[in-house]
């Protein structure tokens, strides 16, 4: 192998067309690295290369073999870039050839990001079985619902069979209890056959606690910075090139070998990199190179607690080139507008006013004083199209970070749930659902783990209780280690045939259909949007315009009927959907056509009307 092959090579074990194993390990301070093929009782020395890498090409290691590495003849360790851990995080790695997958998606075209209707799911709780194969069995359901992109919460190998996924310790490895790498590849192929794109949630800001062996190979971490989860990953300190390459190649692997369509990068504000070429920028550049080779479009979406457009601005404009970001502020403003508590990070947001600002400006805070943060916060998102922002009425974090993990269905009325759904779908942003919200799933989504280290398990229990000591004085936080907590978080698919869940599902279907088919809704043009807030009435009027159509949405968050004047006195507005209609189990069916310019809307309702623009 030459230096270029090593520098741009995927670490771990891969196989060439002749069945030979190419082994690449980064251990810059090691004096010797050995691979032990467990089943064959063989040990082979790796050759020292440039930049801290060790390599070996051998026919001795075959797909399916178990193997481990020894650094300086110390204890045998799993491969830090393992693709398979059939015996869990503490066992040997399994050699796996990702090229064995027989793909059928050669004609697949990733939809334009602006057309995504996203659906976030957790593999372990989405179905009773909790596997990739079981997710496949629900794809026809997702097609019927109308979503065209699923976002899968992290699947990197973690300790035990149960975890949200953010405690993964092998970023290249697919969780064995879900179905391993073959299961994920098969799921992606099946999704593409159904017209569904796949976004994978990945974690590049920390490594989980149990089974974390990276520091035994080299300086993967730095004490220069801290994160909420301990020492930061080493992206800009001594030997950081190898760490950066480890994660860059990981992103490329998901696109190249698993045909993933997009990555959602978890909490990128916790990626500590103050070098001149930020990690995200380098990932963007390398992903673009891959797209030129494959002809396929790959998206990068970030979660961040910063209103900073550098992340989503193109590299040519001094940004990092991310395609889109989650926008929690829309969610927070929507939550308080629905009458929920203004505590914690919700305390900065005012009902109606903050939501109207998020519709108009994306960021609620774009330079103003934040009382919660005790400083001015954010910049303006001028020039950033709506397709760069992902919005939602709930997601895994904002449900699971509650002590009892209550979904919106347990916090607000049936009517308010429909209003929240309409508020997301009428926005000029990318809509995302969290699994089960479309039928008003009552089960919680609680925080759960399955650590096998007793001390760590107890520390997690105590930490969870301490986190909520000032809230919910009655009752205790569910035990995150208990299998009952996990099982209580599973979806109840049988509810789809019962009321009112069946009606909620049909309501979501209709909303998604309108989002796809109405030109004033099926675009992310923020310039064609005007918003009027009525704080005294607890109401927002949204006016969206395309070349062919005008759409007006009236969101009434109050508990009483309200009157509102529609734009243009002489216009005739035809009903697209009104959540208050009796067909949606509402209190009053509104007129199919409005010619008076005045609309009286029931309490806690969403009303959407359209007007065709004469050419």
**Alpha-carbon 434 to chain mean position:** 10
Q: Is 19 annotated as a binding residue?
A: no
Q: Is 468 annotated as a binding residue?
A: no
- Compute the distance between CA of residue 345 and CA of residue 588 in angstroms, rounded to an integer: 36
In 3D space, the residue among 360, 362, 356, 301 whose CA is nearest the CA of residue 328 turns out to be 362
Q: Residue 135's CB: how many other CB atoms inside 10 A? A: 24
Strands 262-265 and 197-202: parallel
Q: Is 122 annotated as a binding residue?
A: no
Q: Is 264 annotated as a binding residue?
A: yes
Helices (H), 468-500: 483-488
Name the packing angle between helices 240-258 and 180-193 (round to 10°).
50
Residue 610 structure tokens: 């359209």
From edge to edge, which strands make up the β-sheet containing 605-612? 529-534, 539-545, 549-556, 605-612, 573-578, 593-594
- Compute the distance between CA of residue 303 and CA of residue 397 in angstroms, rounded to an integer: 11
Whether 69 and 92 have beta carbons less than 8 Å apart is answered as no
- Compute the distance between CA of residue 8 and CA of residue 4 in angstroms, rounded to an integer: 6
Q: Is 392 annotated as a binding residue?
A: no
Q: Is 327 annotated as a binding residue?
A: no
Whether 118 and 142 have beta carbons less than 8 Å apart is answered as no
Give the angle subtended at the CA of 361 by the CAs of 357 and 362, to the nearest 5°. 95
Strands 539-545 and 549-556: antiparallel
Q: Is 543 annotated as a binding residue?
A: no
Q: Is 484 annotated as a binding residue?
A: no
Phi, psi (degrees; rounded to nearest 5) at 322:
-70, 145
Give the angle subtended at the CA of 152 by the CAs of 515 and 336, to the nearest 5°. 60
Residue 77 structure tokens: 């360790």
Q: Is 100 annotated as a binding residue?
A: no
Q: Is 399 annotated as a binding residue?
A: yes
CA distances, 135 to each of 72, 326, 507 (Å): 43, 24, 23
Give counts: helices (H), strands (E), the chain.
Answer: 14, 30
Which single residue is written with the structure tokens 């969870």?
Answer: 464
Catalytic residues: 266, 303
H or E element at residue 398: helix 396-400
Give the angle subtended at the CA of 100 by the CAs of 211 and 64, to the nearest 5°. 45
DSSP E strand stretches across 277-380: 299-302, 324-326, 368-370, 375-377
- Compute the distance between CA of residue 321 and CA of residue 289 in angstroms, rounded to an integer: 13
Q: Is 269 annotated as a binding residue?
A: yes
- Compute the distance between CA of residue 303 and CA of residue 182 in angstroms, rounded to an integer: 28
**What is the maximum span of the chain, computed from C-alpha positions, in angstroms?**
85
Which single residue is written with the structure tokens 């099946």?
Answer: 190
Q: Is 375 annotated as a binding residue?
A: no
Whether 205 and 266 have beta carbons less than 8 Å apart is answered as yes
Q: Is 401 annotated as a binding residue?
A: yes
Examine residue 510 and say whether the peptide bond preceding it is cis (omega within 30 degrees of 0): no
Q: Is 398 annotated as a binding residue?
A: yes
Q: Is 330 annotated as a binding residue?
A: yes
Helices (H), 238-278: 240-258
In 3D space, the residue among 446, 451, 442 whose CA is nearest the CA of residue 464 turns out to be 446
- Compute the distance between CA of residue 584 and CA of residue 563 in angstroms, rounded to an integer: 21
Our CA dihedral for 335, 336, 340, 345, rounded to 10 degrees, sits at 90
Which residues are part of a known binding site? 264-269, 328-332, 396-401
Which residues are part of a known binding site for substrate? 264-269, 328-332, 396-401
């Amino acid at each position: 192998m030459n230096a270029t092959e090593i520098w741009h090579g995927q670490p771990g074990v891969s196989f060439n067309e002749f069945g030979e194993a190419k082994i690449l390990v980064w251990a810059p301070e090691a004096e010797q690295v050995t691979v032990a093929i467990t089943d064959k009782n063989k040990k082979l020395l790796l050759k020292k290369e440039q930049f801290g890498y060790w390599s070996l090409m051998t026919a001795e290691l075959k797909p399916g073999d178990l193997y481990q590495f020894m650094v300086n003849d110390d204890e045998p360790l799993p491969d830090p870039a393992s693709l398979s851990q059939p015996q869990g995080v503490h066992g040997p790695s399994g050699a796996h050839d990702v090229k064995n997958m027989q793909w059928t998606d050669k004609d697949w075209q990733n939809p334009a990001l602006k057309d995504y209707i996203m659906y976030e799911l957790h593999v372990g709780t989405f179905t009773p079985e909790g596997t990739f194969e079981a997710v496949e069995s629900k794809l026809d359901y997702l097609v019927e619902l109308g979503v065209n992109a699923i976002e899968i919460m992290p699947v990197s190998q973690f300790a035990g069979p149960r975890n949200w996924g953010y405690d993964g310790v092998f970023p290249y490895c697919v969780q064995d209890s879900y179905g391993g790498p073959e299961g994920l590849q098969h799921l992606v192929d099946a999704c593409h056959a159904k017209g569904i794109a796949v976004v994978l949630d990945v974690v590049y800001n920390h490594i989980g606690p149990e089974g974390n062996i990276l520091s035994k190979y080299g300086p993967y971490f730095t004490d220069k910075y801290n994160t909420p989860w301990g020492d930061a990953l080493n992206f800009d300190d001594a030997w950081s090139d190898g760490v950066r390459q480890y994660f860059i190649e990981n992103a490329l692997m998901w696109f190249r070998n698993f045909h993933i369509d997009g990555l959602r990068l978890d909490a990128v504000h916790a990626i500590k990199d103050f070098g001149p070429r930020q990690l995200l920028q380098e990932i963007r550049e390398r992903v673009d190179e891959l797209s030129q080779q494959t002809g396929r479009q790959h998206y990068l979406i970030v979660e961040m607690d910063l209103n900073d457009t550098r992340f989503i601005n193109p590299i040519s404009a001094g940004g990092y080139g991310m395609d889109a970001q989650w926008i929690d502020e829309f969610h927070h403003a929507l939550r308080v507008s629905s009458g929920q508590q203004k505590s914690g990070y919700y305390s900065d947001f005012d009902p109606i006013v903050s939501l109207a600002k998020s519709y108009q400006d994306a960021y609620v805070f774009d330079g103003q004083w934040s009382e919660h943060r005790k400083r001015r916060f954010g910049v303006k998102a001028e020039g950033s199209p709506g397709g760069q922002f992902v919005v939602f009425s709930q997601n895994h974090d904002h449900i699971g970070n509650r002590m009892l993990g209550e979904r919106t269905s347990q916090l607000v009325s049936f009517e308010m749930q429909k209003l929240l759904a309409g508020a997301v779908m009428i926005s000029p942003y990318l809509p995302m659902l969290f699994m089960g919200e479309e039928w008003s799933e009552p089960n919680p989504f609680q925080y759960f783990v399955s650590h096998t280290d007793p001390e760590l398990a107890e520390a997690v229990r105590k930490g969870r209780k301490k986190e909520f000591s000032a809230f919910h004085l009655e009752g205790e936080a569910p035990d995150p280690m208990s299998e009952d907590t996990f099982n209580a978080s599973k979806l109840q698919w049988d509810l789809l045939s019962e009321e009112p869940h069946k009606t909620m599902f049909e309501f979501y279907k209709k909303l998604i259909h309108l989002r796809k088919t109405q030109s004033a809704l099926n675009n992310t043009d923020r310039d064609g949007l005007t918003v009027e807030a009525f704080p005294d009435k607890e109401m927002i009027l949204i006016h969206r315009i395309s070349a062919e159509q005008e759409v007006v949405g009236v969101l009434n968050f109050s508990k009483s009927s309200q009157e509102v004047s529609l734009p243009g006195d002489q216009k005739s507005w035809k009903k697209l959907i009104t959540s208050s209609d009796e067909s949606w189990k509402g209190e009053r069916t509104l007129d199919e056509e409005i010619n008076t310019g005045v609309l009286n809307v029931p309490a806690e309702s969403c009303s959407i009307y359209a007007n065709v623009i004469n050419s």
